[in-house]
Amino acid sequence: MTDTPFNPDDALDPLASLPGELAALKEAGLYRQRRNLQTPCGPLAQRDDLPGPLLAFCSNDYLGLANEPALAEAAIEGTRRWGVGSGASQLVSGHYQVNADMEARLAAFVGMEAALEFSTGFMANIGVMPALLGRGDAIFADKLNHASLVDGALLSRAELIRYPHNDVAALAARLEASRAPRKLIVTDGVFSMDGDLAPLPELLALAETHKAWLLVDDAHGFGVIGPQGRGSLAHFGLSSPRILYMGTLGKAAGVGGAFVAGRRDVIEWLVNKTRSYIFTTGAPPLLAHAVLKAVELIEQGDARRAHLTALIGHLKAGLAGLTRWKLLPSDTPIQPLVIGDNHETLAVSRALEAEGLWVPAIRPPTVPKGSARLRIVLSAAHSLAQVDQLIAALVRLEARP
């Protein structure tokens, strides 16, 4: 058998094919486009494509801290004290005291021995699993987990075994069938597109039985749920050396960055083995200074959380009478209104926009087929009257023939 020599003319030139592929994305309604904003994060968003501001229900700024003056002031103070850049990886040019203080504060706040800061939650998630597991090991993942958890699992080269959303029995069966030497269960604490909670007590019990790690991604729980906003572990009153807790600092905390918390030796291991920590320039120390203030605001933020809870109840009551569209059962600020059909969901999102309301349409493959939805996100920065405005518009649009 002779090998046919490769003819360079047969090579696909991506420069030639890309325009067609972009056009196909647009055709399929899957093209993503950024909107330029003229205003800081908050309920009123001025976009450069529209004359007036939109009332926005799309950011994850759950406590309204992203544009909180005290937090902005802390960032300025942090800049005066620490400058802007960090210079290098913190393993190379030093770990700023303010970053060390922030890690200790975050660890204590979520009830763990130690914590490690990351520049973003995505980087934490793609780093931690490869540091803990490798080829031959197994990762058990909820099907609705965040994309960064999927990528982290793939990077680890461990076998990725997915289980149906929050299905503890299915997970138990998969764990029992596995002969992998090292196992890790990974789940969102609060699911980003559904707003529901993971059954963490049951997942921890399975982790104990099967000597597995339990990695909880609490991007949407930290600052929002649990006593004083301490997150989903505190909400359930859980603590275990098997748990690794990932919290992000760009959502409820209003700043940016993330941290992983756990037992001291686990964090020590992560410092030594996590490529997305070792081979990246440290986040600006001014952010750590701001995060210390954010944790204080979260800790003292019962009034913000009470207002948010009132808004959630108000929205649910206001939309309870809808007949074709249904809110998913969620008690968190993520209130998905399932419309079902992709085109109808997009049309409703556009109709809302025409009325000055910004609620993004989420379609497959981000969510399962047939469950296209409006992802309504509430923030303590919203007023009751603003939520009323959204309710009125949705009730009117649903009744429209």
Q: How far is the CB of 217 from ligand PLP (least distance, A)?
A: 5
Q: How far is the CB of 149 from ligand PLP (least distance, A)?
A: 7
* Residue 330 in the binding site for ligand PLP (CB under 6 A): no
Taking CB under 6 A as the criterion, the residue among 86, 99, 125, 156 binding ligand PLP is 125
* Residue 219 in the binding site for ligand PLP (CB under 6 A): yes
Has 86 been annotated as catalytic? Answer: no
Instruction: Give, rounded to a whole angstrom, the gap between the first and last alpha carbons of the chain.
Output: 67
Has 235 been annotated as catalytic? Answer: no
CA distance 85 to 323: 53
Taking CB under 6 A as the criterion, the residue among 86, 90, 99, 148 binding ligand PLP is 148
* Residue 111 in the binding site for ligand PLP (CB under 6 A): no
Cβ closest to ligand PLP, residue 335 vs residue 386: 335
Taking CB under 6 A as the criterion, the residue among 217, 267, 289, 379 binding ligand PLP is 217
**CB atoms closer than 10 angstroms to residue 392:** 13
- Residue in the structure block whose two tokens are 């004290």: 81
Cβ closest to ligand PLP, residue 191 vs residue 236: 191
Interface stretch with ligand PLP, choices 2-10, 120-128, 224-232, 260-268 (CB under 6 A): 120-128
Residues 230 to 289 in contact with ligand PLP, rule: CB under 6 A: 248, 250, 258
Taking CB under 6 A as the criterion, the residue among 99, 156, 192, 330 binding ligand PLP is 192
Q: How far is the CB of 167 from ligand PLP (least distance, A)?
A: 19
Find the residue with minimal CB distance to ligand PLP: 121
Report the amino acid identity of residue 302.
D
Has 251 been annotated as catalytic? Answer: yes
* Residue 146 in the binding site for ligand PLP (CB under 6 A): yes
Strand partners, 115: 261
Which residue among 192, 232, 330, 349 is the active-site one?
192
Positions touching ligand PLP (CB under 6 A) are: 120-122, 125, 146, 148, 188, 192, 217, 219-220, 248, 250, 258
Residues with a catalytic annotation lie at 192, 220, 251
